[in-house]
Amino acid sequence: MAKYGKAAQKNVESTMRRRKKGTLKSGSGRKVKSRKQAIAIALSESRKKGAKVPSRKSSSGKSKRGAKKR
């Protein structure tokens, strides 16, 4: 079973083209140069549109395990 739907794949594909062209911007308005950041933006946009994309990983587990009060 595929994790990502066709709509999400197309969105990632077009976002990567926009990054390569130099027209992809982040939320702050700066140009995106990082490949990983471009993919993250594409998946976020896909989630908003309702495409089949797994939910984001939460980082709550790290903070709970590491800090113990005595």
Instruction: Encode pLDDT of 12-46 as tens digits.
Output: 999 999 999 999 999 999 999 999 999 999 999 99
What pLDDT is attached to residue 69? Answer: 67
Q: Which residue's entry shows tokens 């089949």?
A: 52
For 4, phi then psi, to 5°, come to -110, 140
With respect to residue 57, please indicate whether it lies within any of the assigned structural domains: no
Q: What is the mean pLDDT of residues 61-67?
A: 60
Tell if the pTM clears 0.95, that is, is over it: no
The answer to the question of residue 64 being in a domain is: no
Whether 62 shows a pLDDT value over 80: the answer reads no
The answer as to whether 40 is a domain residue is yes
If you average pLDDT over residues 53-60, what whole number do you get?
80
The residues facing 31 across adjacent strands are 25
Domain, as residue range, for 20: 6-52
pLDDT at 57: 82
Q: Please answer whether residues 30 and 54 qualify as being in contact, where contact means their C-beta atoms are separated by less than 8 angstroms.
A: no
Indicate the residue type of 32. V
